[in-house]
Amino acid sequence: MSDLSIVVTHAGAREERTVTTGTRAWELYADDADVIAARVNGVLCDLAHELRDGDEVEGVAIDSKHGRDILRHSTAHVMAQAVQQLWPDARLGIGPPIENGFYYDFDVETPFHPDDLDKIETAMRKIIKEGQRFSRRPVADAEALAELKDEPYKLELIGLKGSGHGEDAAEGANVEVGGSADGELTIYDNLRRDGNLAWKDLCRGPHLPTTKRIPAFKLMRTAAAYWRGDEKNKQLQRIYGTAWESKDALAAYLAQIAEAEKRDHRKLGRELDLYSFPEELGPGLVVFHPKGGVIRRVMEDYVRRRHIEEGFSYVSTPHISKDGLFHTSGHLPYYADTMYPPMELEGARYQLKAMSCPMHNLIYQSRGRSYRELPLRLFEFGGVYRYEKSGVVGGLTRVRGLTQDDSHSYVTPEQAADEIKHLLNFCLGLFRDFGLEDFYLELSTRGDTPKDKFQGSEEDWATAEAILQQAADESGLELVPDPGGAVFYGPKISIQAKDAIGRTWQLSTVQYDFGQPAGFGLEYVAADGSHQQPVMIHSAKFGSIERFIGVLVEHYAGAFPPWLSPVQVQGIPIAERHVAYLEDVAKQMSERGLRVEIDDSDDRMQKKIRNAQLQKVPFMVIAGDQDMEARAVSFRYRDGRQDNGVPVSEAVERVAAAVASREQV
RNA sequence: GCCGGUGUAGCUCAGACGGUAGAGCGUCCGCCUUGUAAGCGGAAUGUCGCAGGUUCGAUUCCUGUCACCGGCUCCA
């Protein structure tokens, strides 16, 4: 038996080691229970991987990104084994790790019921207890086809891999067949302690050494999902689960989900009396109550003022138009199924608008335009209607009637890059004022999507994508490519913002459009007297005002900063005799434009505090005998802080200052 | 649009092997007049989502439908 020299790396340090032939990776980590896989020469491997001379080896810890993926993928295997135990006719789809967990798809006669999850979890616990070994076995394609003859979906994946489409098979399918440099297929056998085969699956790996190494998991929900993500394919039954390196990590994750549920804008909207979704109106149609109306109005006033400061002109256009307009814009062939159907009147067909750009084009076109007027910037609150599919509407995030803070910049081609940068900066400043600080950009291009889904020439697209790319690069923000995500008339940049609990939301979009100016025959007279076609740049800052309100409610968990709070100050008299005094204080505040209410109900003062607290009012101003005597009030903040005996004039200033600065309190 | 789940008072929820329902909060009416998260007493409240079917009888069982929720697909 000869010796091998290998290099073991850990946290950047390199250590040369000599080991005997036949040494497997796990032997290097026998005393480190956190290591569940190894990276050998940069490739993730099972701990059972046999080392060769010159290998560079690094342990993969279970709480690292890759370690969690391996844990989760292994847990998916355990779940699939459990499902096939309980439902032997279940056929396997794919089972990749995903953010925070994993799923596995099954073709079953009867969809799973939520109660089935308990049964499956029980079976999984048994499998974990058995300490089954995950054992890797390379197989030739023909062998794999023979072994998996009862798994039609796996056969399909093998076939796709054979034809060189392995990567396209489905998102997540490369954990089954992709990745291996030599295109070799592998099967993972789950072996019991006595060596008997418990279960097997086509899989690239790697996996945990044994099922015992799954510290904590939970099945979350069942759902249907189209095979290979295509609506035309059969729906399989998907089970989502989560798995973590420790019971504590699982508990923390579940707590995070519970926190998100507490912030749900649908729930808070009802509790804070902001808005509702009356059944009588129909799905996706929202009414804003007085308190929600305040938030809307403050946002609208703010964004209108900001647009004007940034060189926009505020305009207004109707909600309805003859359908020819949307044919000219090119929207109608593309979006016919998501626009409300036409109304026939006096021989014409009228449609509710689903976007305002065609109408802004009419304003541009209303007279001749000179290059001296460009950039010409139009902005409005466009009420638009989109017949979103019934399964996607929900809350404020996806509605059928919405208000866009929709703007269009008409520019010369040379001005486009600067205008895009201008718009991106505008958006970022705006989000910061709303307390969102953490962003990244997404650049949506054509990618390899069939060209007939997009309008315009190769050159136009190339130019547009290059300009957006450059503007995005210069922003200094992280940029995520989104090939295939472009709109039919041009590429776009979207700004993704992270909220208080780390979720990302797509907010603003900036789109480069050469198609509509061509379709409408838009022109300007250039310096040399020639007629030229402008470029239009679409941008929406909030996107949809409804949706942005939903995001803000969740971001702030309903506890808005004072400038956005429907009620900024709740006046609380200690006894009835203090009401008049507080009314006088309230009057002074109202005169400063502050929103004040006084609770003069029969409730006890403690109850009034509780109510104001539940309504998440930022400032409670309490007054009793001591305060009256001192011409003062007592502050109570949402977090329970108190500041008593504050002179009235100072109290007014304090609230006014907090509102003016848009700070959170 | 597709798959699954859910639908009982304004809200959160309980309940009945089929005999038309209950709690807490809220609301209303009294009493209490109060110092930093629920004072006390009383009252009213529902086509048990809607429409058919089975049944002597359906809120309960069946079918359809609408709405919502979780996913999938989609998102100008």
The tens digit of pLDDT for each residue in A193-210 reads: 999 999 999 999 899 999
Separation CA A445–CA A456 (nearest Å): 13
Active-site annotation holds for A66: no
One-letter amino acid at A465 equals E
Here the contacts of A524-527 (C-beta below 8 Å, separation 24 or greater) are: A524/A369, A524/A370, A524/A371, A524/A373, A524/A374, A524/A410, A524/A412, A525/A368, A525/A369, A525/A370, A525/A371, A526/A371, A526/A412, A527/A371
> Among A133, A538, A595, A636, which one carries the catalytic annotation?
A538
Separation CA A548–CA A506 (nearest Å): 10
Distance of C1' in B62 from CA in A113, Å? 20
pLDDT in tens, A569-594: 999 999 999 999 999 999 999 999 99
ipTM: 0.95
Peptide bond into A206 cis (omega under 30): yes
Separation CA A520–CA A403 (nearest Å): 24
How far is C-alpha A600 from the geometric centre of its chain's CA atoms? 43
Query: C1' nearest to CA of A232: which nucleotide?
Result: B73
Which of A91, A192, A224 minimizes the C-alpha distance to A148? A91
> Among A291, A377, A492, A541, which one carries the catalytic annotation?
A492
Separation CA A646–CA A650 (nearest Å): 7
> Among A291, A377, A386, A446, which one carries the catalytic annotation?
A386
Mean pLDDT for A614-631 is 96
* Both tokens assigned to A36: 């569940």
According to the model, what pLDDT value does residue A451 have?
Answer: 76
Separation CA A250–CA A521 (nearest Å): 59
pLDDT of A184 higher than 90: no
Q: For residue A582, what is the enclosing H or E element?
A: helix A579-591
Separation CA A133–CA A47 (nearest Å): 11
> Among A73, A77, A369, A408, which one carries the catalytic annotation?
A408
Distance of C1' in B16 from CA in A435, Å? 51
Contact criterion met (CB below 8 Å) for A328 and A519: yes
DSSP string, A408-466: EEEE-GGGHHHHHHHHHHHHHHHHHHTT--EEEEEEEE-TTS-GGGS-S-HHHHHHHHH
According to the model, what pLDDT value does residue A452 have?
Answer: 77
Active-site annotation holds for A406: yes
One-letter amino acid at A412 equals T
Distance of C1' in B5 from CA in A170, Å? 27
According to the model, what pLDDT value does residue A456 have?
Answer: 87
Domains along chain A with CATH numbers:
3-61 (3.10.20.30), 65-259 (3.30.980.10), 305-554 (3.30.930.10), 562-661 (3.40.50.800)
Separation CA A49–CA A539 (nearest Å): 53
Distance of C1' in B47 from CA in A278, Å? 19
Q: For residue A404, what is the enclosing H or E element?
A: strand A401-411
The proportion of chain A whose per-residue pLDDT surpasses 70, expressed as a percent, equals 97
Mean pLDDT for A478-503 is 92
* Both tokens assigned to A647: 């002179």
* Both tokens assigned to A251: 């508990």
According to the model, what pLDDT value does residue A162 have?
Answer: 60
> Among A406, A499, A599, A627, which one carries the catalytic annotation?
A406
According to the model, what pLDDT value does residue A180 have?
Answer: 53
Active-site annotation holds for A372: no
Which of A218, A293, A253 minimizes the C-alpha distance to A63? A253
Active-site annotation holds for A492: yes
Q: Which residues, 6+ apart, have CB-to-CB distance to A528 below 8 Å?
A: none
pLDDT in tens, A250-308: 999 999 999 999 999 999 999 999 999 999 899 999 999 999 999 999 999 999 999 99
Separation CA A380–CA A196 (nearest Å): 70
SS3 A545: helix
Active-site annotation holds for A427: no
Buried b (16+ CB within 10 A) or exposed e, A124-152: beebbebebbbbbeebeeeebbebbeebe
Vertex A477 angle, CA A504 and A170, to 5°: 50
Query: C1' nearest to CA of A643: which nucleotide?
Result: B36
Chain B bases closer than 7 A to any CB of the protein: 1-5, 11-12, 26, 30-39, 66-76
According to the model, what pLDDT value does residue A331 have?
Answer: 93
Q: What share of chain A is helix, strand, coil (3-state, %, to 5)?
A: 40, 30, 35
Mean of per-residue pLDDT scores for chain A: 93
SS3 A93: coil
* Both tokens assigned to A176: 């089954």
Peptide bond into A375 cis (omega under 30): yes
Which of A203, A211, A208, A218 minimizes the C-alpha distance to A257? A218
Distance of C1' in B31 from CA in A637, Å? 32
Active-site annotation holds for A203: no
A646: β partners: A633
- Per-residue pLDDT band at A172 (split at 50, 70, 90): low
Distance of C1' in B60 from CA in A305, Å? 58
The bridge status of strand A101-107 relative to strand A97-98 is: antiparallel
Separation CA A501–CA A517 (nearest Å): 41
Active-site annotation holds for A327: no
- Per-residue pLDDT band at A167 (split at 50, 70, 90): very low
Contact criterion met (CB below 8 Å) for A134 and A74: yes
Query: C1' nearest to CA of A332: which nucleotide?
Result: B76
* Both tokens assigned to A328: 């000219």
Query: C1' nearest to CA of A282: which nucleotide?
Result: B67
According to the model, what pLDDT value does residue A166 have?
Answer: 44
Separation CA A338–CA A388 (nearest Å): 6
pLDDT in tens, A203-251: 998 999 999 999 999 999 999 999 999 999 999 999 999 999 999 999 9
DSSP 8-state assignment for residue A368? -
CA-to-CA separations, A490 to A12, A219, A360, A365, in angstroms, rounded: 45, 42, 17, 21
